[in-house]
Amino acid sequence: MVNKEFFQVLDALEKESRIPREQIIEAVEAGLASAFKKEEGFPAQIKVRLNEEKSTIRVFSHRLVVEEVNDEESEISLEDARDIDPSKQIGDVIIEDITPKDFSRIATQTARQVILQRIGDIKRDMVLNEMSERTGEILTAIVRRKEANNVFVEITGTQMEGIMMQSDQMPNEKYNVGDIIKVYIKKIRGSEHGAQVVVSRTAPGFVRRMFEMEVPEVRAGLVKIVNCVREAGFRTKISVKSDDPNVDAVGSCIGNKGVRINSIIAELGGFEKIDVVPYSDDIFLYIKSALSPAPVVQVTIKEEEKTARVAVPDEKLSLAIGRNGQNARLAAKLTGWKIDVKPNSEFAVDLADIGDIDGEL
């Protein structure tokens, strides 16, 4: 069957979808085969072949020649096979051209939805593969709808839908349909409807990526982000270092008059505090910096247990601990050490702690 118009449609489909030609042909052949079987109720295994040079569409049945038929869809008896081709033997395959005269009607009507669905699946898989490669990046998205506690966004430039669950939403932000926001591609997860892109604005990686975008020294590798911990909407602590003695790691991240860090804070809604602290291999100095903005008087550690007791001025105890213990909790996450903060007036090393290591700061 010659159908030039059908192949012209394929040309347009290739340009519009940007899907590789061979994948389109494969999807169309499978879709037409499925439609033909449904339309004709033909029991045999069906394969459709497109010949682009001749602009033809042919339908073939494939059945294995067997002594006793157990599956009419894939098998044919030797007797019936020899009615078609007397030379056939057990184990041969009978291939018949069963292209109907009105197959163009089937191709343009019955097969249309199957083909579009398969093309849609290919396009979605392509986008998901692209999203998998972009996991950990920040992309722009448009809020499309809200269901229960979830926000669904369209990732611009991909038409891919992302889901932002309640735990990934900033506590001090409201999301309205049509809002344009930046989201962090957190992961690709499986769902009953297929793969799904999970996006976030609360992940520590969101802040890490913002620093990479806003600070040229971080982007160039002159300043390295060692760790980043966060309680979204309230406080973030990020430790940085530079192997170049001429580069001020902390100053680079803050920027002249705070312009760089203020830009990041603005993107986070304007309420979240960000402590940029210098990383140090000296655990005493690192813990001291991690408890910023509170001053630290003394640190005592137990290396084998990775625990530290920290003395701060009595009047700065609440600042060191933070609201609901937030500052001390984040400092512990940042350093990887358990930190016990005490006022200086109560800080003492008794005989049981003789093995501790002290650091005067």
234-249: pLDDT as tens digits: 999 999 999 999 999 9
Question: Of 156, 181, 200, which closes a domain?
Answer: 200
Nearest-5° angle of CA 229, CA 231, CA 236? Answer: 50
Among 130-139, 221-230, 349-358, whose mean pLDDT is lowest? 349-358
Asked if the model's pLDDT at residue 350 lies above 60, the reply is no
* CATH code for position 339: 3.30.300.20
Size (the chain), residues: 361
| The pLDDT of residue 352 | 41
292 contacts 280 by C-beta, under 8 angstroms: no
Question: Of 71, 97, 131, which closes a domain?
Answer: 131
Q: Indicate whether 217 and 161 sit together in one domain.
A: no
Q: Indicate whether 38 and 113 sit together in one domain.
A: yes
* CATH code for position 160: 2.40.50.140
| The pLDDT of residue 343 | 92
Q: Indicate whether 287 and 337 sit together in one domain.
A: yes
Q: Indicate whether 83 and 42 sit together in one domain.
A: yes
Q: Indicate whether 10 and 125 sit together in one domain.
A: yes
In the chain, % of residues over pLDDT 90? 54
Which of 203, 237, 206 shows the shortest CA–CA distance to 334? 237
Q: Indicate whether 126 and 147 sit together in one domain.
A: no
Q: Indicate whether 60 and 123 sit together in one domain.
A: yes
Give the residue numbers spanning the domain of 269: 203-279
The model's pTM is: 0.68
Q: Indicate whether 183 and 87 sit together in one domain.
A: no
d(CA 56, CA 37): 19
What band does 351 get if pLDDT is binned at 50, 70 and 90? very low
Domains: count for the chain: 4
Question: Of 180, 200, 220, which closes a domain?
Answer: 200
- Dihedral sign of CA atoms 21, 24, 30, 36 in order: negative
Q: Indicate whether 84 and 9 sit together in one domain.
A: yes
DSSP 8-state code for residue 110: I
Query: 124-144 b/e with 16+ CB inside 10 Å = b?
Result: eebbbeebeeeeeebbebebe
Tokens 């030797």, residue?
78
301 or 346: which leads in pLDDT:
301
| The pLDDT of residue 112 | 63
